[in-house]
């Protein structure tokens, strides 16, 4: 029995209309602020945040720290900057950072850990993107003066390019304990850590309990227009604030953005299960389309990655073929296509995407068959 995809009446009432009729499944970064967010932004009390005088930012930072069970938090412009700041705080030039091969810090942050923080990524391949301690331990450098040194382990939960896969809170705690015993810090790229927490049925504080720092995005599944946060100890955030300024991320009357972030943080986690149900429905529908390959059981959160090799189209061609029909997707590898569900796509959009996908794939197979007969 396929999972019933659900709409989100509250969100549909609040969100501004999408006149284009496009079902944009490229990413959860594309969400638009709700009316409540827009109102809060307009009415936000602001001050100069570089002088620590923006009351809305201060309130957001206090609340984020509280939710994650950490001492302090810092509002940053983007997830990339948040990760880079954490890497910079925990390392020296010439250090190595252990991360998963397909992790965002390794593949999609323009090599900033090398270009700016002066570190080498030391990658390990985890099944479904999830690293085990033996895989991490195997790439820790011995303490020898003529070797570069391992300083940091960077985990990603949920793991984006592995299809929204998950570390449990216990797996993370275990890695942290062992890493700490080996003298390493552990940072979490938690761009989608609220999706992870909802799927695991735990609080984000449980996931964060032994981590030295966490970056999470307000601007993905949580639906805020801009902004991410880093959380950690007072000492970590004090240094993080310095690097944020050095990297050009010191913002002034940024309470106008933090106001949307506060709503995202309080309200949005409650509805992420809807995105997960919609992702499950998508995966089940895709699995029924001949020549597309996905195991719906592998879909744990809001990211659905499927293989299109047997269609005769590569991922770019398939995305291009979907686009004129108003369904937008992203190619993530030569034959891998990604759909990400989020608060601006309800159940009818999911059914529409499946209808279009089936029609486009069926048509391409018909064209391939008639070309073969000629």
Residues that bind ligand TLP (CB under 6 A): 27, 29, 78-80, 104, 108, 156, 160, 189, 191, 217, 219, 228
Sheet with 336-340, strands from edge to edge, namely: 303-307, 336-340, 330-333
For residues 108 and 334, which CB has a smaller minimum distance to ligand TLP in the complex?
108
Is-contact 48 57, C-beta < 8 A?
Answer: no
For residues 61 and 156, which CB has a smaller minimum distance to ligand TLP in the complex?
156
Residue 230's DSSP bridge partners are 74, 215
Is-contact 219 29, C-beta < 8 A?
Answer: yes
Q: How far is the CB of 81 from ligand TLP (least distance, A)?
A: 7
For residues 78 and 149, which CB has a smaller minimum distance to ligand TLP in the complex?
78
Q: How far is the CB of 340 from ligand TLP (least distance, A)?
A: 7
Other residues' Cβ atoms within 10 Å of the Cβ of residue 125: 10
**Closest residue to ligand TLP in the complex (CB):** 79
For residues 104 and 187, which CB has a smaller minimum distance to ligand TLP in the complex?
104
User: How far is 213 from 217, CA to CA, in rounded Å?
Assistant: 14
What does the DSSP 8-state code read for residue 190?
Answer: E
Q: How far is the CB of 103 from ligand TLP (least distance, A)?
A: 7
- Please state whether the peptide bond connecting residue 196 to the residue before it is cis, i.e. omega within 30 degrees of 0: no
Q: How far is the CB of 217 from ligand TLP (least distance, A)?
A: 5
Q: How far is the CB of 160 from ligand TLP (least distance, A)?
A: 4
For residues 217 and 257, which CB has a smaller minimum distance to ligand TLP in the complex?
217
Closest CA to 284 of 196, 357, 342: 357
User: How far is 154 from 107, CA to CA, in rounded Å?
Assistant: 13
């Amino acid at each position: 029995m396929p999972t019933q995809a659900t709409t989100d009446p509250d969100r549909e009432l609040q969100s501004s209309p999408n006149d284009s009729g496009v079902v944009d499944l490229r990413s959860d970064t594309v969400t638009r602020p709700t009316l409540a967010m827009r109102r809060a932004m307009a009415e936000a009390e602001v001050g100069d945040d570089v002088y620590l005088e923006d009351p809305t930012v201060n309130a957001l930072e206090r609340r984020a720290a509280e939710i994650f069970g950490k001492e302090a938090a810092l509002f940053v412009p983007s997830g990339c900057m948040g990760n880079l700041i954490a890497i910079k705080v925990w390392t020296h030039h010439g250090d190595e950072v252990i991360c998963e091969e397909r992790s965002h810090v390794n593949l999609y942050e323009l090599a900033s850990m090398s270009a700016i923080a002066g570190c080498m990524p030391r990658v390990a391949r985890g099944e479904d993107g999830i690293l085990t301690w033996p895989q991490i331990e195997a790439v820790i450098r011995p303490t020898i003066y003529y070797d570069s040194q391992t300083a940091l382990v960077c985990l990603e939960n949920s793991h984006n390019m592995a299809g929204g896969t998950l570390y449990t809170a216990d797996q993370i705690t275990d890695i942290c304990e062992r890493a700490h015993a080996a003298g390493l810090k552990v940072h979490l790229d938690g761009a989608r850590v609220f999706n992870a927490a909802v799927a695991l049925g735990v609080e984000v504080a449980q996931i964060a309990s032994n981590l030295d720092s966490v970056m999470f995005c307000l601007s993905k599944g949580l639906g805020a227009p801009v902004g991410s946060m880093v959380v950690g100890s007072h000492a970590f955030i004090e240094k993080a604030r310095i690097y944020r300024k050095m990297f050009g991320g010191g913002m002034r009357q940024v309470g106008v953005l933090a106001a949307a972030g506060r709503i995202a943080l309080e309200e949005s986690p409650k509805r992420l299960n809807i995105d997960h149900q919609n992702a499950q429905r998508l995966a089940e529908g895709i699995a029924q389309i001949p020549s597309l390959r996905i195991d719906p059981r592998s879909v744990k959160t809001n990211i659905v990655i499927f293989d299109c090799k047997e269609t005769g189209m590569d991922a770019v061609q398939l995305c291009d073929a979907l686009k004129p029909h108003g369904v937008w997707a992203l190619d993530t590898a030569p034959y891998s296509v990604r759909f990400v569900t989020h608060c601006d796509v309800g159940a009818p959009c999911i059914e529409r995407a499946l209808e279009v996908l089936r029609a486009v794939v069926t048509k391409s197979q018909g064209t391939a068959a008639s070309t073969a007969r000629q």
